[in-house]
Amino acid sequence: MEFETISPREIDAFLFREGYSVIDIREPRDFRRLHLKGAVCIPYGQLEERVRFLKNQTLVLYCERGGASLMAARELADKGYRVKTMIGGIRAYRGKNLESYVDKR
């Protein structure tokens, strides 16, 4: 199964939207410091175990720079999940001066 890549500008359309789960796959300490509003934290190492309850959702993944979420998207798509991943991660999102994030630094 394939997955879709989306830009930082496109991810806002999926925040708080029914049928979609926006997932930050970084570690909880990184999530606490900075994350997209409405995202949940499921670290990469726990994804497979925890997303099985979200089989009816489209999973929208992001990480720090985009590499880990790309690998995770490929793995989950191969298992039959509907997946999108944000190119460039949270760094690219912040670099575009977009507003939907929480920064607790």
Please list the residues that pair with 40 across neighbouring strands. Answer: 23
Q: Does 104 score more than 90 pLDDT?
A: no
Give pLDDT tens digits for 43-68.
999 999 999 999 999 999 999 999 99
Q: Strand, coil or helix: what is 38?
A: coil
Q: Does 105 score more than 60 pLDDT?
A: no
Mean pLDDT of 14-24: 96
Name the residue among 60, 55, 61 with its Cα closest to residue 26: 61
**92: which DSSP letter?**
H
**76: which DSSP letter?**
H
Instruction: At 2, list the tokens.
Output: 């394939």
Ordered by where they begin, the domains of the chain are 4-99 (3.40.250.10)
Q: Strand, coil or helix: what is 39?
A: coil
pTM over 0.75: yes
